[in-house]
Amino acid sequence: MSGVLYTNAQQGRLLRIVPDLVRARALIWDFASKDFRARYRNAAIGVVWAVLQPLLMTLVLWLVFGAILNFRAEALGMATELPYAISLLCALVPWQFFASGVSVATSSLITDRELVKKVYFPRETIPIAAVGSCLISFAIGFAVLAVLHLVSGGSLGLGLFWLIPAFVIQVLLMVGLGLLLSCLNVHFRDVQYLVDIVLMFGLYASPIIYDLRIVHEKAPQLIANLYLLNPMAGLLTVYRQAFGGAVLPETYLLVWPAVCAVAVAVLGAIVFRRTSPVIADSV
């Protein structure tokens, strides 16, 4: 790559983002695989944690809500065809992918500040690679979910094809948020702390422990409508319905998340491109 491609004037051009990322696709993969290996490098059991994390989180939630509080899937509005633990995993695996990807992407430019200062390359590769490194953990967690679903007597039907658009929308949303929040975090370090708080709140403001149906049934209409502004509410419900055997999940649940994903991706790309010439001076 020639230095001319990455002058300050060229870095700010929005239309260059796609060709720049295509040229840097190998770099994105290198960054993503490096980040994934580094995450478990000093752990005694290594990448096994990628399997244990969703399982242990599911165990904690099941113990608290299923065993101690004696909640049942029916009481939480969940589909009765799925065991409560599997229903939890159906939403928890994609949520952990979302939360970890957005959090890591937000801090990625600060984490790799020395690289940003010394080498010229499309800066978008860093937050995108951060999302990509979490994608590997998601793939492992998803495989574990599929195996446990089959072991518990479930089946993998045609409804699983709806996981593809849900996954594409989620990744686009994460990339857009990663681009937007990472460059904002360079100038305002409070952004990382705010993101962590919002993600903690999002665990309970998304249909993970309970189902979306209970929100419609129990909450006032205004609250239910405001709840659906969270794009992950629709996406997590589609994930759960696809595993629950629904041949045709409620596809309207993908419309608002898709609109949010496209809007956030465009906004993130615009803001990132306009600030990229000064990122190296600010990290």
Q: 107 versus 76: which is more confidently predicted?
A: 107
Q: 81 versus 190: which is more confidently predicted?
A: 190
Tens-digit pLDDT profile for residues 89-110: 889 999 999 999 999 999 998 9
Share above pLDDT 90 across residues of the chain, in percent, rounded to a whole number:
31
Q: 243 versus 170: which is more confidently predicted?
A: 170
Tens-digit pLDDT profile for residues 3-45: 444 455 555 566 677 777 778 788 888 888 888 777 777 666 6
pLDDT at 5: 47
pLDDT at 4: 42
Share above pLDDT 70 across residues of the chain, in percent, rounded to a whole number:
84
pLDDT at 22: 79
Amino acid in position 106: T
User: Which of 32-46, 66-80, 120-134, 193-207 is the most confident on average?
Assistant: 193-207
pLDDT at 19: 77
The per-residue pLDDT of the chain, averaged, comes to 82
Q: Which one, of 143, 61, 67, 135, lies nearest residue 105 by Cα?
A: 135
Instruction: Give the C-alpha separation, 79 to 214, whole Å.
Output: 11
pLDDT at 44: 65
